[in-house]
Amino acid sequence: MSHPALDALTARFGARIETGQAIRDQHGAGDSWHAAAPPEAVLFAETTGDVSEALAICHAHRFPVIAFGHGSSIEGQTQAVQGGLSLDLTRMTRVLRVSAPDMDATVEAGCTRQELNEYLRDTGLFLPIDVGAHATMGGLASTRASGTMTVRHGTMRDRVLGLTVVMADGEVIHTGGRARKSSSGYDLTGLFVGAEGTLGIITEVTLRLAGIPEAAKAGLYSFAEIAEATETVVEALQCGLCLNRIELLDALQMQAINAYNGTDHPETATLMIDMAGSPEQVAADLETFGALAEGHGAALAPCESPEAYNALWTLRHSALYSARALRPGAKSLSTDVCVPVSALPAVIAQIQAEIAAAGVVAPLHGHVGDGNFHLVMLFDGPEEQEVVRGLHSRLIAMALEAGGTATGEHGVGLGKKLYMQAEHGQALGIMRKIKAALDPGGILNPGKIFDL
Amino acid sequence: MSHPALDALTARFGARIETGQAIRDQHGAGDSWHAAAPPEAVLFAETTGDVSEALAICHAHRFPVIAFGHGSSIEGQTQAVQGGLSLDLTRMTRVLRVSAPDMDATVEAGCTRQELNEYLRDTGLFLPIDVGAHATMGGLASTRASGTMTVRHGTMRDRVLGLTVVMADGEVIHTGGRARKSSSGYDLTGLFVGAEGTLGIITEVTLRLAGIPEAAKAGLYSFAEIAEATETVVEALQCGLCLNRIELLDALQMQAINAYNGTDHPETATLMIDMAGSPEQVAADLETFGALAEGHGAALAPCESPEAYNALWTLRHSALYSARALRPGAKSLSTDVCVPVSALPAVIAQIQAEIAAAGVVAPLHGHVGDGNFHLVMLFDGPEEQEVVRGLHSRLIAMALEAGGTATGEHGVGLGKKLYMQAEHGQALGIMRKIKAALDPGGILNPGKIFDL
């Protein structure tokens, strides 16, 4: 028998409420090791008004609602663990406005960063959130995503100026605005960014864009030991270079990348860096960085052409998929932590020693300019899964011990819930109070971030 | 008869609870035109534990608590409009830790930015929040302050990594941490930053510092018309120059500054700019900026020496006091709005026309790289006050109409409460829900930002 909420949704939205198994299955799984949990139905929303009406119905019936974009989240954020409605926003892809002089734009939540950047092509502007996934703006905002350019351009927290949000009961609010800064009341924009759809559903996003730099040059630096690479990072950050990206890949990750892409880079700890600015500044800062890296024994391979530059960053973005390809058929627990940069060498050394002792295949890559790194831990079967989960918990304990966080950019979802108490202590109770105040029926993405 | 809360506070804190008239008067007024409203008592807290115990007592007795630093807020944030306890944090001035490699520090809330920067003197680091006032870190965080260097370094929202906060009932929480970024749960740090002490009392602040640049050079550019100056700003921002500051002062403000400081700069619309970076970059970007400014007919006066550089920024920071000195004995309504940069020329032209028509003396200065500017409107007597308040409302209406905000950096306090509904609409109800959830007794800085 159908849930009365579904009847009401179908009465309102007709064929846009889909209940076919295939579409439900697709909406019940992210890009992760977490068990799939299909919703009872999927609604393809086309406007903020659709979202508002759907939420009003679900609120009245205490029916869960999970916002869905391209399903690229990797901590189980989109799984419908308590059933309910998956609210698909991928039909809301419009770029609503762009201001070149103010370097900002407003887009609908289903617009991807690739679509926005394509739209902006002739303006000299772009959104400097460079994640590997083909992700929507709503998803990027909701997980407080960041990617490779954070060291220069910040995270979604820094790029989102304002939002349109539909609250649990269907009320539509607008947060922030287009001013570059504001001291006007509570920072609701910042509260919804990173809330993973548990406090409201984002339908429109106003973004600060960046200017495409006059010049950009990249290089690949191979180190004998990973500690030499991380120490180079710490030194480079203190020099105030015009770094646009500074990415670490360990020997196993380089081996995976070579195998996956047919390349032949040295299979040793590697930094891929990108400088952006004026041609003179880029040249000078690349030289400074090269000297630092050489001081740590690195072999240098600067990219001499725009083609080589693009090829390098395409390689970098293959890190996750190449890692998974190391053990075809195995599952992968892809995790990320973020620590103060000075703690990187010790934390990486310690977790890699424990990984080696456990005999787990787990390549490492990360946005080390932020102190953020990922491990893709491969496992096959329940016994290996237990080992991998144990290492995962150890990694997070080390990160917290170092003053860091259980997740730098993937979010909490289902995968990091266990660690929220350890990270936040009493502050977790404050998060719960805010959740109860804004979603008293607990219908918005229930079971994510923390349990009530 | 004494309030039972005061008896309980006195029983716990003894002579640290002060009730003398002079000290209450000092704690009941900020640096503003708002009427003074002295608290019933002042507690000089020395530890987070003191704050926690005081709040537990006040919470039990429903007794208002207003956090107090150096009393430099200018929208009436520290006035005890419902009586209660002023909680003075100026004895909590310790720098608790500094990490040079991570470029971060943790300080107690009563530490001023000047004290922190003095402490950091030998590290090559500084806190790039350059406001005119001698303000504490708790106050800077609570008003989401920014100042002249925002165009490069962001606001307190961008600089605060973590907080220790005492909640209304005395519970102590820790938000954020030392990681450069995090996707771990709700952004409580961002929620308390800018909340003006209405959601909790900040007792410790962890800050992202910045490196002192290798080179910095400043210059003063005089324009025939203010529109020529604002158009230069819009163009300069799109060139991606290494701007550290870009400040606008109108003709009247320059007249005030000359009179106050005994200088003889041209009394016309002026940009004061500061470039920071490598010596080559600074030289190249100053030249580019000079060419842009000359294209708008500006006369250039670069600062050739470090002394001239420092003198220029000392002059700039005299803007408020020099403005007030234009009419000795008059009061001043000092306000700030922030708009998209492209809207600056039109908004400034429109409000200045209305100010001129009303015959009000109101010099203008601002951090125009952020679209943020201040007017100091002088008035004497109730009749002039009415005219000035009318202009104030007009200014905010224009800013909101342009997609901006009623306050870029001063905060809401008492002075901007009237405009919160117009700016935030339905979102104001969400702020009220959060307030009710975290401070159900309404004891934290009651009557500020919005009424319950």
Smallest Cβ–Cβ distance between B190 and the set A190, A371, A427 belongs to A190
Q: Which two tokens stand for residue B80?
A: 């005890």
Query: Residues B141-151: pLDDT tens digits?
Result: 999 999 999 99
Smallest Cβ–Cβ distance between B407 and the set A99, A182, A449 belongs to A182
**Helix, strand, coil proportions of chain A in percent (round to 5)?**
40, 20, 35
Give the mean model confidence (pLDDT) for residues A54-65. Answer: 98
In angstroms, rounded to a whole number, what is the distance separating the alpha carbons of residues B11 and B350?
57
| Surface of B (272-301) touching A: CB under 8 A | 277-278, 280-281, 284
| Residues A405, B191: C-beta atoms closer than 8 Å | no
Query: Residues B95-124: pLDDT tens digits?
Result: 999 999 999 999 999 999 999 999 999 999
Cβ–Cβ < 8 Å for A26, A162? no
In angstroms, rounded to a whole number, what is the distance separating the alpha carbons of residues A276 and B394?
43
* Residue B1 pLDDT greater than 70, yes or no: no
Query: Residues A343-398: pLDDT tens digits?
Result: 999 999 999 999 999 999 999 999 999 999 999 999 999 999 999 999 999 999 99
In angstroms, rounded to a whole number, what is the distance separating the alpha carbons of residues A254 and A306?
22
* CB-based contact, A406 to chain B, within 8 Å: yes
The number of angstroms, rounded, from the C-alpha of A187 to the middle of its chain's C-alpha atoms is 21
3-state secondary structure of A330: coil
Give the mean model confidence (pLDDT) for residues A243-258. Answer: 97
Taken in order of first residue, the domains within chain A and their CATH numbers are: 4-90 (3.30.43.10), 102-211 (3.30.465.10), 215-321 (3.30.70.2190), 327-409 (3.30.70.2740)
The nearest alpha carbon in chain B to A167 belongs to B430
Mean pLDDT check: name the lowest of A148-157, B25-34, B347-356.
B25-34
Smallest Cβ–Cβ distance between B183 and the set A144, A171, A433 belongs to A144
Distance from CA of B263 to the nearest CA of A (A): 32
A-B C-beta contacts closer than 8 Å:
279
Residues of chain B with Cβ-Cβ distance to A339 below 8 Å are 179
In angstroms, rounded to a whole number, what is the distance separating the alpha carbons of residues A81 and A39?
8
Query: Residues B393-427: pLDDT tens digits?
Result: 999 999 999 999 999 999 999 999 999 999 999 99
Cβ–Cβ < 8 Å for A145, A193? no
* CB-based contact, B26 to chain A, within 8 Å: no
The pLDDT-based confidence of A1 (bands split at 50, 70, 90) is low
Q: Are strands A95-99 and A104-108 parallel, antiparallel or unpaired?
A: antiparallel
| Surface of A (58-97) touching B: CB under 8 A | none
* Residue A30 pLDDT greater than 80, yes or no: no
Q: Which two tokens stand for residue B342?
A: 């492209």
Identify the residue among B142, B169, B182, B410 best suited for mutation to test binding to A, counting A beta carbons within 10 A and taking the highest. B182
Q: Are strands B41-44 and B85-88 parallel, antiparallel or unpaired?
A: parallel
* CB-based contact, A329 to chain B, within 8 Å: no
Smallest Cβ–Cβ distance between B416 and the set A99, A184, A195 belongs to A184
Q: For A15, which DSSP code?
A: G
* CB-based contact, B197 to chain A, within 8 Å: no
Give the mean model confidence (pLDDT) for residues A9-14. Answer: 97
* CB-based contact, B147 to chain A, within 8 Å: no
Give the mean model confidence (pLDDT) for residues B32-59. Answer: 96
| Residues B214, A240: C-beta atoms closer than 8 Å | yes
* CB-based contact, A178 to chain B, within 8 Å: yes
In angstroms, rounded to a whole number, what is the distance separating the alpha carbons of residues B261 and B253?
12
Cβ–Cβ < 8 Å for B65, B55? yes
Query: Residues B236-285: pLDDT tens digits?
Result: 998 888 999 999 999 999 999 999 999 999 999 999 999 999 898 899 99
Give the mean model confidence (pLDDT) for residues A161-186. Answer: 98
* CB-based contact, A173 to chain B, within 8 Å: yes
pTM of the model: 0.97
Give per-residue burial for B278-303: e unless 16+ CB within 10 Å, then b: beebbebbbebbbebbeebebeebbb
| Surface of A (100-119) touching B: CB under 8 A | 100-104
- Side by side, the strands of the sheet bearing B172-176 are B95-99, B104-108, B201-208, B160-166, B172-176
* CB-based contact, A423 to chain B, within 8 Å: yes
Cβ–Cβ < 8 Å for B305, A143? no
The nearest alpha carbon in chain A to B281 belongs to A281
Cβ–Cβ < 8 Å for B23, B42? yes
In angstroms, rounded to a whole number, what is the distance separating the alpha carbons of residues A132 and A116?
15
**Torsions phi, psi for B387 (to 5 deg):** -60, -45
Query: Residues B79-88: pLDDT tens digits?
Result: 999 999 999 9
In angstroms, rounded to a whole number, what is the distance separating the alpha carbons of residues A151 and B140?
25
Amino acid at B223: F
* CB-based contact, B143 to chain A, within 8 Å: yes
Helix (H) or strand (E) run with residue A378 in it: strand A372-379
Query: Residues A286-331: pLDDT tens digits?
Result: 999 999 999 999 999 989 899 999 999 999 999 999 999 999 999 9
ipTM field:
0.97
Distance from CA of B187 to the nearest CA of A (A): 6
In angstroms, rounded to a whole number, what is the distance separating the alpha carbons of residues A339 and A34?
25
Percent of chain B with pLDDT over 70: 100
Closest CA to B111 of B132, B141, B85: B141
| Residues B234, A412: C-beta atoms closer than 8 Å | no
Alpha helices in A223-371 (DSSP H): 226-238, 251-261, 279-295, 306-317, 319-324, 344-358
* CB-based contact, A139 to chain B, within 8 Å: no
Q: Which two tokens stand for residue A132?
A: 């590997």
Distance from CA of A176 to the nearest CA of B (A): 8
Cα–Cα distances (Å) from B175 to A225, A272, A431, B136, in that order, read: 35, 33, 11, 19
Residue owning tokens 């109770």? A429
| Residues A185, B281: C-beta atoms closer than 8 Å | no
**Torsions phi, psi for A7 (to 5 deg):** -60, -45
> What's the mean per-residue pLDDT of chain A?
96
Give the mean model confidence (pLDDT) for residues A137-154. Answer: 96
Distance from CA of B341 to the nearest CA of A (A): 6
**Positive/negative CA dihedral, B398, B404, B408, B414:** positive
Residue owning tokens 């456990």? A358
| Residues A183, B409: C-beta atoms closer than 8 Å | yes
The nearest alpha carbon in chain B to A449 belongs to B185
| Residues A188, B431: C-beta atoms closer than 8 Å | yes
Residue B256: CB atoms within 10 Å: 27
Query: Residues B205-226: pLDDT tens digits?
Result: 999 999 999 999 999 999 999 9
Q: Are strands B172-176 and A95-99 parallel, antiparallel or unpaired?
A: unpaired
| Residues A144, B195: C-beta atoms closer than 8 Å | no
Q: For A13, which DSSP code?
A: H
Percent of chain B with pLDDT over 90: 94
* CB-based contact, A342 to chain B, within 8 Å: yes
Query: Residues B335-357: pLDDT tens digits?
Result: 999 999 999 999 999 999 999 99
* CB-based contact, B264 to chain A, within 8 Å: no
| Residues A178, B403: C-beta atoms closer than 8 Å | yes
Q: How would you class B264 by CB atoms within 10 Å of its CB: exposed for 0-12, middle for 13-18, buried for 19 or more?
A: exposed
Cα torsion A387, A393, A398, A401 to 10°: value is -160
